[in-house]
Amino acid sequence: MKEREDIFSYELEVFRTEAESAIQFFYAYLSINASLADNEKALQIVNEAPLFWRTNAGALQTSFFIVLGRVFDQKSNHNIDRLLRVAQDNADIFSKEALELRKRKGSKNADEWIDDYMKDVYVPTISDFRRLRKYVSKYRKIYVNGYRDIRRKVYAHKELSKPDDVQKLFAKTNVPEMQKLLIFLKRLYECVWELFHNGRKPVLRPMKYSVKAMRKAEIPKWQSSHVQEHMVQEIENFFRTISSVPNQKMHRTR
């Protein structure tokens, strides 16, 4: 049991890092563009180093598509399908007995609360895993129809180099659609994590995905937030900060 739990935990952590990396790259790219679109002074500052910022934008785009491909590519050693396959093939790691053992190992006073806690523990069924697979199938179709060729033909293998051909592929993309796809990955991770660690029913809970909405929101210091919210807020705060600094002439000494 311990070995199979370790294998699942490893796949879950790999999936988390892949999903969050894709989110960070994409939301950084969107947030930079959004912040500069309505901050003229920040844009002027950025235009003082245009090569750097173009390089930054290109790196974010490339990294995003490469990671996204690893998540959905069924030939990849660690992908979204493998995570759910390992989970379903080792369903007994989600049993009440297995969860109780994990909880006891992680708590010195488990005897004081474990019995009450276990009363509300949920044990997943085949239907639960089938439902999650249906969600994965839905979002894989979106990836295949609108993004896989960009990843393969532009970023991974450079099969296309003519601007018109590349533009035709990008014309199929949709920013809100991609935001929802990426946040689905995060929602899937969290629901599977909660199932394994806390025995909660695997439900995809709501999560913010709109850059526009996140730019307007302030995250209270006491409230935990997700990686996309942190990324948007950090970039927004960064450009506000540099645009608020008074212009100063730099004098060189010789």
- What the block records as the tokens of 241 is 């900060």
Please tell me the predicted confidence (pLDDT) of residue 178.
97
CA–CA dist 28, 18 (Å, integer):
15
Please tell me the predicted confidence (pLDDT) of residue 245.
81
Residue whose C-alpha is closest to residue 147's, from 80, 220, 67: 67
CA–CA dist 179, 76 (Å, integer):
23
Residue 186 contacts residue 207 (beta carbons within 8 Å):
yes
One-letter-per-residue 3-state SS of the chain:
CHHHHHHHHHHHHHHHHHHHHHHHHHHHHHHHHHHHHCCHHHHHHHCCCHHHHHHHHHHHHHHHHHHHHHHHCCCCCCCHHHHHHHHHHCHHHHCHHHHHHHHHHCCCCHHHCHHHHHCCCCCCCHHHHHHHHHHHHHHHHHHHHHCHHHHHHHHHCCCCCCHHHHHHHHCCCCHHHHHHHHHHHHHHHHHHHHHHHHCCCCCCCCCCCCHHHHHHCCCCCCCCCCHHHHHHHHHHHHHHHHHHCCCCCCCCCC
Residue 124 contacts residue 91 (beta carbons within 8 Å):
yes
- Distances in Å between the Cα of 24 and the Cα atoms of 31, 197, 227 are 10, 25, 7
Please tell me the predicted confidence (pLDDT) of residue 221.
62
The structure's pTM equals 0.91
Residue 81 backbone phi and psi in degrees, to 5: -70, -40
Residue spans of the chain under pLDDT 70: 219-225, 247-254
Looking at every residue in the chain, the average pLDDT score rounds to 92
Please tell me the predicted confidence (pLDDT) of residue 19.
97
Where does residue 149 rank: exposed (0-12), middle (13-18), buried (19+ CB within 10 A)?
Answer: middle
